[in-house]
Structure 1
């Protein structure tokens, strides 16, 4: 059984056992307090470049579904994107024995296919409590036998995240929909797209920096996504401003990063919260 260590930039070390891929990695460490949803979280582009810490104590018990299954709209049904975007997974207790009607493999084997490492046997609640006092920080996972000095801390905000998560070319879903929505993809989740299609919208997904003509659509949707939009999404903000300043007023709406982009487009300021806390719903 191979061991590995999570090392935080403040010098804290958490030793554990490996599952998934046996590879070193680094990223921003964030905590997720949900009881379920590790498949959805790992494939959420918003976690691109982040080391995901799950505080729920038992992970892996319902396995992983087929990540190639599509729904009636041609959208991947059980995952939020076509790959794992998180850099690594940290859990307290991992079980290889899974039981679920929809599962086809274990979490460990799925992580290994995507070359994503995991550590278990870690006191994840201590990590979460430390973040409450000290805030989010960078971390790295170092496999047993590797010199920690050889692995550098890595801030995902210093790379071009939009190029990693955004669609490359425009694509249309539900072409017979009654209303036409253009979605600027800054890290779109499949379920956001699915809901729009279920509401009988024709959805045109475009890259984050794609120019969008207002007269071609009934509304503009801004997806969720990773990183700091002040650094990453200047072209998107220009597009939003053009819609806001147009003589023809059409709906603009967004989720997560999309909200931040709307705020920036109307001249507001945004700031990153101190705590890297993620959960399914927040009030």
Structure 2
């Protein structure tokens, strides 16, 4: 599974057994079985068993991630009971240091599995440590930004004017160390107004995020469309690549297209968009 190609990751509470039957039919690029926020403390142990059943039912039908708990005691129990051979990544919340990631990578290695780790950055300390976290090591496969928890800690509303800087900080650090990064510069809780959610996704893509988690199936299609290049962008990208080939054949390093200078950074962006379009349809099935 290519984590870099994931645009939508649909959360499924481990205790929500009624959601499993159609989970793989919602169009999400990946599914996240959740043991953390969606599970009350009294049901954590029950949720671990249900997560194993959920993974068994969904294995092979979609890429699967498991969001564990950050508290050390709960985390150890989560990993001990997790069906690691059947999941594609472990999502660690509330990450504030590279050492947290490294400790989980070591724990996974001791269990006999080199399962990739996704670090969710959701606090002020995590945001200012994002560069260090992004360099945690080869076991780290992606970063995520948790807008709701960050806004709660800061005492602000989860909206773009409050979250654009931390969102861009996390996305920039991920890009600097070639990691995919999922998130929104605002609340993921919007499940009725899809026009508003689409606007937020557009802002997330502009910030540099490569995808987002979703908490409701109706968000999935919006995320898939919003994090992929548009038809107009793809058409432009194809023309840029052709123009670049023609310029290279003439010994030129740049060329004018539609009244604008096209040089190496613009060509690279065009190539990335075309590559993203090629990768997106291949996202099907997990391990």
TM range, smaller chain? under 0.3
Instruction: Identify, as 1 or 2, the structure richer in strand.
Output: 1
TM-score (norm 2): 0.26
TM-score (norm 1): 0.26
